[in-house]
Structure 1
Amino acid sequence: MKKEKILNSYRNEKKDEGNDHINNMSDEKGFFAMAMLIMLITIYKIYMNLPFGDTGAIPLSFLSFHSFNRYKQTKEKDTLVYGIVTGFIGIAFLVWYVIETI
């Protein structure tokens, strides 16, 4: 009887741990691919003596928004600090890029 109650409670949650795992793995691989592409573009821009602040701002904005969203859910202070720091650095990269390209 207890087993059926537990199974019913999991069914009512409408949460699929298999899909969550697949989504998490896909997100990790997608982020890794994005990071590698940004790194290659940044190396190319450095080699060609082009400003590269835009390629730094992209992953930092992702990390910042990811951290803010995670903070909203977990209320971990370290995550909030990380979001603020990466946000400021990302904005600095973007401002530097705009100044270099004006």
Structure 2
Amino acid sequence: MNMQKMIDMPLYVQGIVTAPVLFAMEEFPELRGSVEHGFNDPSDVATALEYLAKSQGIERTRLLATEHAKLAARAIDALPEVGNKVALVSRQALKDLAQKLIRRTK
């Protein structure tokens, strides 16, 4: 992933640390200090982005999202069959949405 995309990536959303950062912290415990400061200091953001670039955090997040999308598709398939075209289209739209969310880059 290029650095510009990483800069645009939220590290902290509404007080919640995002999955890529949590995974990066498993590899680099020293990242915890930046997280505890809430990324208030620009140097904390720069440090977090450096560790994120070196970590498997983004890839692990993508794999986790893929697994959840598969589980969602299975749950949709397990819903009772309805011989209604709208229901069939809606089911497929939900599956397509899950896949689109995984492939999005921003």
Q: TM-score, normalised by structure 2?
A: 0.34
Higher helix share: 1
Q: Please identify the structure whose Cα radius of gyration is greater.
A: 1
